[in-house]
Amino acid sequence: MDGEIFNLQKEHNLIKQRFIEKGWITVYRSYKDGEKVETGIYCLLVKPEHFDKYIETRDWGIRWGSEGHPSIITRYENGQEITEYFRFGDEGLEPFVFPKWFNHANERYVEVSQEFVNYFNLFEKANTKQDRTYYFIDEVGDEEEVIKVKEREVRIKLKFLTEYLAVRKIHISICFDIMLITDLKGTDITFTPKDQDFIGETFNYNHLMRVVPGLDKGSFQSWIIGKTILKYDPAKSLIFHFDTYEEDNENFIIGYNEDGNLLKIPCHSQDHQFFTPVFFKKDVLNKYYANPHKFDVNGFHISSSFISLKMDNNHDDYVMVFLNDLKMLPAKEQLHWKHYNIAPEPGMGLSGSYYDTMVMGNWARDSDSVDIRFKEKYVRFNEKWFEKFGWYFYKEQVGTDKDHFNALHLPSENSVKSFSDQLLTIVKLTIDSLNEEMLIKGLPKIENERGIAKFERFLAEHSKTIPDMITFLRNLQDLRSGMIAHRYSSSNKNMKRAVEYFGLKDENFREVAQDIFVKSLYTLNTLSAQFLNENDG
């Protein structure tokens, strides 16, 4: 042990910081650290009108074990007995954390003010009563940690506590009782008695260093006790986490001005209210496709429990949104979209499917984007197949299959990872999901026969011969197997044949992905024509 530890220097520094570290404030603690420093931290709320009296002494006002207990107090006034109920026993003070221990169950845990939890509508995730975390769910559904509760410690993210104090116009007192008792054997510490008060506008504590004979663990005591105050900021009393402000709306590129520079207009502009198109790279949708359990993306909307945005997602290379629709997004999401904003170029505009559907109200037209069109056709085909034959051509999606389907899209970037992710899903949908049992129902069983072979026999049984389709499916399966399902090998003949079939090179992953979507759509259209008497373009 060195002198800094015995002098509780680290603890002095924490008091100066009001126990705030890296954006978090400790409001409760009760344990010994590795240096045998026993730390007790407790907090309570102090009404401003009682603050001057409260800060005059080191007394906490409320101590754990007695906090928050309603009191029934009887007094005599003018010879009459008056009994009153008090929510808290101390006038002007209010508990904020509630340490609880139950001897009969040998259990202890800590609760935090339910009013604070309710104000931010915090969501609790608990491993046990002694290990809980509370989350704030923001306007787009993202989680942010606010309270971390352990059996002997509670920490709160400072920005949330600061708002709560400002809105309630109340201060918080962080009270502390920190003690180290040692015999100082084997140290070079020169003991000097100390009894020093530290008193300021927002703190009042004492550091006592003394000899205490007869203690089992030693005779030297270093002890700090008192409180420090985090006062509310009146300037923040009208700033609320749930408020939105016009200045939070972002500017977006809508074209070029007379000087040839980019023309940027705020999305809440009154001068550009109607049908002003704004264009974005396809990459803007990646975060939504990556969270299919949370966001639904189609040719005309992004939607979730938290946001809804109309958009034209029917182009292969860009996304279009009308300027004023962007103001419906929370500020955080506007920043995301702004990052992918691009200037309009010749040939860019509304897709025919968006115009017909969203502007003219004609819901009959399919999407102009091949990935959206494929997904629409896939669902429609499977439903109509069931209506006609009483079984689904592709097995129904269960579990996470629906999420994979929703996340399927034409890769926005030309990378092997993006390509492989989408390849895996499209093979799962079109080959792995073949209803093999029904395809060969009533046909002779062949040992080790796989899905595409069963499909080919099904076609033959119905006097259908579609060799181009079978060739495509076999090469698609071999491409998936060679790139994803198995370790890549340049000697894999099936893989090499599939690469040649698709013309796959390092620089054309996105182009090949588009070709796979086109051929997969062709498969659905061909089956519709052959079995359902439908001819789709």
| Tens digit of each residue's pLDDT (9 = 90 or more) over 66-122 | 665 667 778 788 888 988 877 765 678 999 999 988 887 788 899 999 999 999 999
Q: What is the pLDDT of residue 48?
A: 96
Residues 505 and 430 in one domain: yes
Flag whether pLDDT at 433 surpasses 90. Answer: yes
Mean pLDDT of 432-437: 95
Q: What is the pLDDT of residue 246?
A: 63
Q: What is the pLDDT of residue 238?
A: 83
Q: Residue 164 falls within a domain, yes or no?
A: yes
- Tell me how far apart the alpha carbons of residues 235 and 165 are, in angstroms, rounded to a whole number: 12
Flag whether pLDDT at 297 surpasses 90. Answer: yes
Q: Which region among 188-192, 200-204, 223-227 has the lowest average model confidence (pLDDT)?
A: 188-192
Residues 503 and 459 in one domain: yes
Q: How confident is the model at residue 130 (pLDDT cuts 50, 70, 90)?
A: very high
Q: Residue 323 falls within a domain, yes or no?
A: yes
Q: Which region among 12-26, 89-103, 327-341 has the lowest average model confidence (pLDDT)?
A: 89-103
Q: Residue 536 falls within a domain, yes or no?
A: no
Q: What is the pLDDT of residue 463?
A: 94
Flag whether pLDDT at 193 surpasses 80. Answer: yes
Q: Residue 364 falls within a domain, yes or no?
A: no
Q: What is the pLDDT of residue 6?
A: 84
Residue 416 CA, chain-centre distance (Å), reads 27
Q: What is the pLDDT of residue 440?
A: 93
Q: Alpha-carbon torsion 524, 530, 536, 537, what sign?
A: positive
Mean pLDDT of 445-468: 92
Residues 341 and 277 in one domain: yes
Flag whether pLDDT at 1 surpasses 90. Answer: no
Region label for 78, one of left (φ > 0), alpha (ψ between -120 and 50) or beta (otherwise) = left
Q: What residues make up the domain containing 392? A: 370-531
Residues 341 and 392 in one domain: no
Flag whether pLDDT at 399 surpasses 70. Answer: yes
Residues 296 and 384 in one domain: no
Ranges of H-type helices in 186-330:
286-289
Q: What is the pLDDT of residue 105?
A: 75
Residues 347 and 225 in one domain: no
Q: Residue 537 falls within a domain, yes or no?
A: no
Domain termination residue (choose one: 313, 340, 359)? 359
Q: What is the mean pLDDT of the chain?
A: 89
CB 510 within 8 A of CB 414: yes
Residues 388 and 477 in one domain: yes
Mean pLDDT of 359-385: 86
Q: Residue 445 falls within a domain, yes or no?
A: yes
Q: How confident is the model at residue 430 (pLDDT cuts 50, 70, 90)?
A: very high
Mean pLDDT of 119-136: 96
Q: How confident is the model at residue 186 (pLDDT cuts 50, 70, 90)?
A: low
Token couple for 183? 């015999």
Domain termination residue (choose one: 182, 206, 236)? 236
Q: Residue 36 falls within a domain, yes or no?
A: yes
Residues 147 and 10 in one domain: yes
State the total domains in the chain. Answer: 3
Residues 213 and 252 in one domain: no
Q: How confident is the model at residue 273 (pLDDT cuts 50, 70, 90)?
A: confident
**Long-range pairs for 253-261: beta carbons < 8 A, 24 or more residues apart:** 253/278, 253/279, 253/341, 253/342, 253/343, 254/278, 254/323, 254/344, 255/343, 255/344, 256/343
Residues 229 and 277 in one domain: no
Q: Residue 365 falls within a domain, yes or no?
A: no
Residue 190 CA, chain-centre distance (Å), reads 53
- Tell me how far apart the alpha carbons of residues 449 and 426 are, in angstroms, rounded to a whole number: 21
Amino acid at 528: S
Task: State the DSSP code for 327.
Answer: G
Q: What is the pLDDT of residue 174?
A: 97
Q: What is the pLDDT of residue 67?
A: 64
Residues 209 and 339 in one domain: no
Residues 262 and 405 in one domain: no
Q: What is the pLDDT of residue 216?
A: 60
Flag whether pLDDT at 512 surpasses 80. Answer: yes
Q: What is the pLDDT of residue 33?
A: 76
- Tell me how far apart the alpha carbons of residues 98 and 43 are, in angstroms, rounded to a whole number: 10
Domain termination residue (choose one: 308, 340, 359)? 359
Flag whether pLDDT at 161 surpasses 60. Answer: yes
